A and B are shown apart, each in its own frame.
Chain A
Amino acid sequence: MKKLIKGNIALCEGALAAGLHAYFGYPITPQNEIPAYMSRKMVELGKVFVQAESELAAANMVLGAAVTGVRAMTSSSSPGISLKQEAISYMAGMQLPSLIVNVQRGGPGLGNISGSQSDYFQAVKGGGHGDYRIIVLAPNSAQEMYETAYDAFDLAEKYRTPVMILADGITGQMMEPVEFNKLEKKYFEEKDWHLTGCKDRNPRSIQSLLMKDGVLEQHNINLQQKYNTIAENEIKYETYKTEDAEIVITAYGISSRIAKSAVKIARKEGLKAGLFRPKTLWPFPSKEISFLSDSGTKFLSVELSHGQMIEDVKLAVNGKTQVEFLGKAGGGIVTEREIVEKIKEMIL
Chain B
Amino acid sequence: MNKILSKPEALKDEVLSYCPGCGHGIIHRLIAECIDELGVREKTIAVAPVGCAVFAYDYFNFDVTEAPHGRPPAVATGIKRSNPDKFVFTYQGDGDIAAIGMSETIHAANRGENIAVIFVNNANYGMTGGQMAPTTLIGQVTETTPFGRDPKREGYPIHLCELLATLEGAVYLERVAIYNPQNIIKAKKAIKKAFQNQIDGKGFSLVEVISNCPVDWGMTVLDSIKWVKDVFIKTFPLGVVKDKTS
Contact = CB atoms under 8 A, between A and B. Distances in A.
Interface of A: 21-22, 24, 48, 50, 52-54, 56-58, 60-68, 70, 72, 86-87, 90, 94, 195-200, 203-209
Interface string B53-87: 01101001111111110010011111111110011
B160 to A, nearest CB: 17
A50 B77 contact: yes
16 contacts: A48-B82, A56-B74, A61-B74, A64-B65, A64-B75, A64-B77, A65-B79, A65-B82, A198-B42, A198-B44, A198-B61, A199-B43, A200-B42, A203-B63, A205-B65, A207-B57
Given A64-B80, A68-B86, 17 more contacts: A50-B77, A53-B104, A53-B106, A56-B74, A60-B67, A60-B104, A61-B74, A65-B78, A67-B79, A70-B82, A86-B68, A196-B83, A197-B62, A199-B43, A203-B63, A207-B48, A207-B66
A70 B87 CA distance: 16
A205 B68 contact: no
B71 A60 contact: yes
Contact of B63 (A56, A64, A205): A205
Contact of A209 (B47, B66, B78, B81): B66
Nearest to A59: B74
Interface in B3-38: none
Contact of A87 (B43, B71, B79): B71
B86 A67 contact: no
Contacts, number: 134
B78 A62 contact: yes
Contacts of B63: 195-198, 203-205
Interface of B: 41-45, 47-48, 54-55, 57, 60-68, 71, 74-83, 86-87, 103-104, 106-107, 111
A56 B72 CA distance: 12
A281 to B, nearest CB: 25
A48 B81 contact: yes
B224 to A, nearest CB: 26
Nearest to A98: B78
A206 B66 contact: yes
Nearest to A54: B103
A196 B41 CA distance: 11
A66 B64 CA distance: 13
B103 A205 contact: no
A61 B77 contact: yes
Given A57-B71, A86-B68, A197-B44, A205 B78 contact: no
Contact of A60 (B43, B78, B80, B106): B78
Contacts of A57: 71, 74, 77, 103-104, 107
Given A63-B75, A68-B79, A197-B43, A53 B103 contact: yes
